[in-house]
Amino acid sequence: MAKYTCPFCSGFAHVSGGIPNHSEWLLLSAVEHDSLPEMVSSDALYKNTSKLYKCIYCDALAIFWSKTQEAPTWYAPRRESGA
């Protein structure tokens, strides 16, 4: 199972797995959505999405914004202050 190490907690995000992959979210902008034909195959839709994965420990997000991106862009989880 392929995974990327989280830069915030040294946990990891799985980027492969079963189908459907329970660790994968698909992102599609409103502009991209509106440019799709009314009827679109699931394969074509999947190919037009960016992929999001979540660290299994700290919930940081790893996003592959393009198909050619070799490593994800990581986003730190927001934590509530202990006030």
CA 79, chain centre distance (Å): 20
pLDDT at 73: 94
pLDDT at 8 over 70: yes
Backbone angles phi, psi at 74, to 5 degrees: -100, 145
pLDDT computed for residue 4 by the predictor = 87
The pLDDT of residue 62 is above 90: yes
Q: What is the pTM of this model?
A: 0.79
